[in-house]
Amino acid sequence: MQIDEHMSLYATLFKSYSPEQFKESSQLFYDRHRRWGFAPTWFRGKKCLDAGCGGGRYTKALKDLGADVYAFDVDGEVAKVAMERTGIPVLVASATHIPFPDETFDYVICMGVLNHVDDPDNGFRELARVLKQGGTMVFGVYGDYGLRWWFGTDIWRYSLAKVISFETLNKVFSYFGVPANKRYAILDNLYVRYLHRFTEKQVRKKWLSGFCDVRRHPYERYDYRRLFNRIMYGVGWIQFTAVKCPKTK
């Protein structure tokens, strides 16, 4: 059966990351932003939010780049893990009710979170609300369709995961030496309560009308535009950078 709360799932998985695995996962932030044209100095002194920070990999990266960084996660146990990893205070809050005033941050990152909240539309509105005019948002969500979802997740999510608990399957994977980051990639989508998927058209139409310089960035593991990858991965991992348009007088 699916787990109703995030706690036993994410807290267990993130605690299992070795220092090397945590460092490798943080490296994604540097690598992606470098490819997207962000200079390392861009973050210095900027007020940044890691929304749904999980184990804190992006929080740590922002801290190391000199940002004034804030973070939250919906699960208190996960927030403790992130604080231990990063040395940054982490609030317990939901992306659908962000506890900061309007236009607080120069930069907001929210990767792989909106697909797991009860109301993704409201979650995005909250992210946009706390972002300053002219501020930059980075977000990623699951793209819809593709054999990978149907055969790699959905069949198991609505069969195996109904009868075998997360705790049991995690122990089995751990016993056979499956690394923590790989267990996370597999077990996350099998047991999490909400698993929303989107198309690029939906994201652009519903969420990004008030944004400028909107760019979808290629995923490093595959080119979703190639026919084989469209069949396998559908719309692909959807990741955007976008600037909140200043209001016209």
Instruction: Identify the structural domains of the chain with CATH numbers, from first to last.
Output: 7-147+191-244 (3.40.50.150)
Tokens of 49: 């939010």
Is the sign of the CA dihedral 150, 153, 156, 158 positive or negative?
negative
So what's the pLDDT on residue 8?
64
Positions in the chain short of pLDDT 70:
1-8, 248-249
DSSP state of 34: H
pLDDT at 249: 59
pLDDT computed for residue 6 by the predictor: 47
The pLDDT of residue 10? 86
Whole-number pLDDT of residue 11:
85
Check residue 1 and give its pLDDT: 34
How many angstroms separate the CA atoms of 217 and 28, rounded? 14
The pTM of this model reads: 0.93
